[in-house]
Amino acid sequence: MALPGEYTVSMASLVNGKYKNLCDAVPFKVVRMKKGALKGANEDEMLAYLEELNVLREKISASEISLENAEKKVKAMKIAAMRANNISDKLLEEVDVLRNQILDLKEQYYGNKSKGEIGEGSDPTLRQRFGFAASGSGNSYGPTPSQKESLEICKRNVRKD
């Protein structure tokens, strides 16, 4: 859904890898279709909320990639430690600690796979909270207090860098 405001549209074709403009940009205005029964967020608040969602979406995506990479590295560390001539119990314990930390993070992001397989409920995952927070961006009312709270919880639980 587009927020009320001024926009432009243009058309182009792509033939054999070459773009060709079919017309110049044409301006148009998006207006609110009707006034809702409830007072919604103003346009500036909606834009700010959308920007927060986009920034957080990028951080979540980057964190998921980092988590995947870390999991691969820890698997490689365990294999290397097991293949060493003198297997160090301390090193194996440290690798297991890292592995468990990664599994805990994965559970925060995606939930407990075992519980999910048998239909047992669990706490909302980071992904679920983000999805709920994002659902406040697709209407004319704007985010509810619960959706804003969900966004704040996500922001607190995503990697800081």
Distance CA 118, CA 161 (A): 35
Give exposure, 106-131, as e/b (b: 16+ Cβ within 10 Å): bbebebeeeeeeeeeeeeebbebbbe
Do the Cβ atoms of 77 and 98 come closer than 8 Å? yes
Kindly report, residue by residue over 67-79, the tens digit of the pLDDT.
Answer: 999 999 999 999 9
Kindly report, residue by residue over 99-113, the tens digit of the pLDDT.
Answer: 999 998 888 888 887
Kindly report, residue by residue over 26-85, the tens digit of the pLDDT.
Answer: 999 988 777 766 676 777 888 888 899 999 999 999 999 999 999 999 999 999 888 888
Instruction: Please list the alpha-helical segments (H only) found in 6-144.
Output: 43-83, 89-110, 113-117, 126-134
| pLDDT class of 161 with cuts at 50, 70, 90 | very low
pLDDT score for 83: 86
| Number of Cβ atoms within 10 Å of the Cβ of 134 | 20
